[in-house]
Amino acid sequence: MDIGGLIVGLGNPGTEYSRTRHNLGFMVLERLLQDREKAGVLQKLSGRKNLFALWKARFADADGAAGDRLLCEPLTFMNASGEAVRAVSSYYRILPERILVVHDELDLPPGRMKMKKGGGSAGHKGVESITQCLGTPDFFRLRIGIGKAPHNTLSFVLGRFSESEAELMDKCIAAATESVLMLTREGAAKAQQFCNSFSLY
């Protein structure tokens, strides 16, 4: 199977964590799955129970050709996300530089997002786990701002958005989905330019 890359949305499995701040990666991936299903280019693959859910989707590549990529939801809970990413990338022989991880970011305000390759985790446990399991930080990250925690960080990231925040984040999710499509269609430079200049203020 010729796979051009891996797109990973981070979050925690289970209805109790659905649409919490820490599950923004899942929310973007789910929007992306809807987009690819509507286009008729999505296929559900056999995942591994309690490790990951996996799909294959066709995307337009930067050179104009269509290419397949995998879309993955780790089911390991956030702090062990790397186990799922390592299993998928190893089996399909996907290099770290062909991996994009979508996740929430405390160091960015709501309404902003950034895309980068490599660098530190900024304390994000899912990113830390992936870096450790891959043995390198040199994968792409799409960071979606949720803002600084006004109180306990854990309870903040596991909390749900207010009604006004949810409306804002829905716009961010739509923009983040477009940035992933742009990455596959036009390459990293264009996608990073779009992401890093994006603001709802």
Residue 22: active-site member = yes
CB 121 within 8 A of CB 131: yes
- Residue partners of 196: CB distance under 8 A and separation at least 6: 114, 115
H or E segment and range at residue 68: strand 66-74
Q: Is 165 helix (H, G, I), strand (E, B) or coil?
A: helix
Q: Which two tokens stand for residue 84?
A: 């799922």
Catalytic residue among 22, 103, 124, 151: 22
- Write down the residue that tokens 């390592």 correspond to: 86
Residue 7: φ, ψ to 5°: -115, 120
**What number of CA atoms fall less than 13 Å from residue 179's CA on the CB side?**
31
**Chain Cα centroid distance, residue 71:** 9
Backbone CA torsion sign across 103, 109, 112, 118: negative
Residues recognised as catalytic: 22
